[in-house]
Structure 1
């Protein structure tokens, strides 16, 4: 298998500040490489989630 990683900005553990990707070959489930994602959706109300959505849309939208 293969993991393709892209870390953007310091909070995402980016250490080299130019565009690049990491290709991590996987040989077995016991290769000591894992990523864990935690869902905190239940920690937010619907208004907070809507505000987060609007922020994301503004940041990824083109202003042409």
Structure 2
């Protein structure tokens, strides 16, 4: 398992944006992701590139996830 911190793709609102699901919720709660996990980046500025990133990747387009509530 990989440890994920704020600023990394796993904690970004764009990570797996079009897939969502329970797996992403668990990753964001536990701040851990499987090493083999790769998701699409849904950042509108890069969406046409169809980027595939890991949970520990990062870029200048990072946007924190919104807190539930």
Name the structure where helix makes up a greater proportion of residues. Answer: 1
Which has the bigger relative contact order, CA under 8 A and spacing at least 6?
2
Higher Cα Rg: structure 1 or 2?
1
TM-score, with structure 2 as normaliser: 0.22
